[in-house]
Structure 1
Amino acid sequence: MNDPTAARTALVKEGRLTIEGIDGRFVHGIGRRLRLTAVDLRLTGGFETRDGVLVENGRIMADAALVSDGLRRIGRPDTAQSLPLAIRPLPLGDQNRMLITVGDGDGLNGAGFFAEAHLPPAVFAALKGDVLSGSAHRLSLTAATSLWLDESESGAAPGLPVTWHLAPGPDGQGSAPARGLIETIDWQPAEARPAPAQGQDAAEDEDEETTSEALARINWSLKQLLIVLAFLMLIIALK
């Protein structure tokens, strides 16, 4: 039985990854893209010290999920589809690329998988503005990454789900983060509730009018009945 915590020797040869004690080989998903969707976008502020310098650590957090696919550590049976996503701005001057990192262990919550996207300042500012205004509710991105696929899945048709893998770390323990380039990113506001059709409004108004008319007729009939009863009682009293 394989010990998932044991250190393993990894070897990459001709683009194929083999790992001591693990059956099969792994390859990069050339032609396939990691696809993530994220909801509950929220702005998180803060500061941190980097190399003795205090810097702003503002970021956008979201709850992300892989579209159809799964994420796993090589040699581990657990597969995940959801993970926290942090979105940060790149340094000023870095305007022509969007980066992503996928990892586990030392992530945002101290354990489990995580993803971090780094966007050009202008793109981050646009997203931040829409988050603050409530115009960004759902985010989608596609990326080419260094994640691995089991070689048996590398030829799967584009519409079929696959399982992405994180390779072991340099010391044979833990997992090495995968990195990549974001090719597309877009976001949308929450879906508006559809307005009721005009015909439906008219029908509801007509129903209300019909009900009011029926109540008015009932009240009138009751009044007439009371008048007749009072007249009969008067005749009986006179006799």
Structure 2
Amino acid sequence: MIDTHSHILPELDDGSENIEQSMDFIVQAMKQGVKVMFATPHCCDGVYDCTKKEILTAWQFLCEAVDREGLDIQILPGAEIRVNHDLVTRYDAGDLLTLGETSRFLLLELPPMFIMNAFLRMVRQLTERGITPIIAHAERNPMIIARPELAADLISTGAELQITAGSLKGDFGRAPRKTAKTLVQNNQVFCLGSDIHPGRKYRMKAARKFLNKAGSRVQTEKIVRENPEKILKECVDQFILDDQVFMIG
């Protein structure tokens, strides 16, 4: 499995508080069958605005710790970027970190309330630049909860949707769980993320079981592995996944 959303970089945001906690999260992920984790601290959300340099420095530090422990997992950098009016301008200026640093995928967090037409225009501007926006924890956004049909407009305009593993187990309440199920049933989910923070349970294995029961194994594999591989193939030269070696380029 590939975890496309986690807060495991130490001392950057409201995620991991220290390197020990980071390593604990990673070990939990490995035990649940995760081979790759994207480390995605908050950016541009009014509280945390981690810069590319800060993220990449913390990522390198964490990767060195993983290597020292001999852990069989790959950690890749990224960011959870809050949608603001200047998002496209900041992307053009080179301020925003895509998933894996060199991929075309940008993980975005919608505010609780947003103007749909304005955001769709932003999505079109990003896609014109070759970028695919991925909406983080789409099932937890109040507007999408109230109007799940918004998902179709987001996808048709060029965005993809991510859901949180814990939502499928009800960790964030009934409404996000119901919305997550609806998105899964409508085949509108691109990928899955743990969104792991202190105080939350790591739910990737449980979410995979739920997906298998709710739909088909083919759909599950697309969500937990095949679609995220599209990101990986753009940001690494070689990686090992499920005992296969993929050579890029």
Question: Same fold per TM (> 0.5)?
Answer: no
Q: Which TM-score applies when normalising by structure 2?
A: 0.23
Please state which structure has a larger fraction of its residues in helix. Answer: 2
Q: Which TM-score applies when normalising by structure 1?
A: 0.24
Please state which structure has a larger fraction of its residues in strand. Answer: 1
